[in-house]
Amino acid sequence: MRQLLEEELLGPLGVVEPRQVLSPVVEAKLAALALTIRLRRTSLDAALAVVRTDKGQALSERIDGVLARCAEREQGLLAARMAEEERDTRRTATAAALAEPLSLLSAAFGISFF
């Protein structure tokens, strides 16, 4: 169940680590920023031409998308872990509730169940 949940939430990110997806995009964004800064030092028009391509904006949106998917994945995993913990808690409580009467019977009749 947990694996199915992870695969459903991860989609293509399940194949590779998010860092492997994110790293080249961040590097491309930083390179675009460096180019813009370098061009601005010599020509405002050249720097604005690069900015107007919206390549930097597209890269930022891609970064945001990857991070959002990572956050969704973590939320899904947290929900699955919390549900699993709740089930374990119920099982423990049920076992404790059943063990107590058996212990009393054992003590009353001198019978050992364990």
Q: What is the pLDDT of residue 11?
A: 52
pLDDT tens column, 7-54: 554 554 554 577 778 888 999 999 999 999 999 999 999 999 999 999
Q: What is the pLDDT of residue 108?
A: 75
Q: What's the CA gap between 110 and 53, in Å, rounded?
A: 85
Other beta carbons less than 10 A from residue 73's beta carbon: 19
Q: Domain segments of the chain: what residues?
A: 2-103
pLDDT tens column, 63-90: 999 889 888 888 988 999 999 999 999 9
Tell me the DSSP string of 44-109: HHHHHHHHHTTHHHHHHHHHHHHHHHHHHHHHHHHHHHHHHHHHHHHHHHHHHHHHHHHHHHHHHH
Contacts of 61 (CB under 8 A, 6+ apart): none
b/e 46-58 (16+ beta carbons within 10 angstroms → b):
ebeebeeeeebee
On the question of pLDDT at 1 being above 70, the answer is no
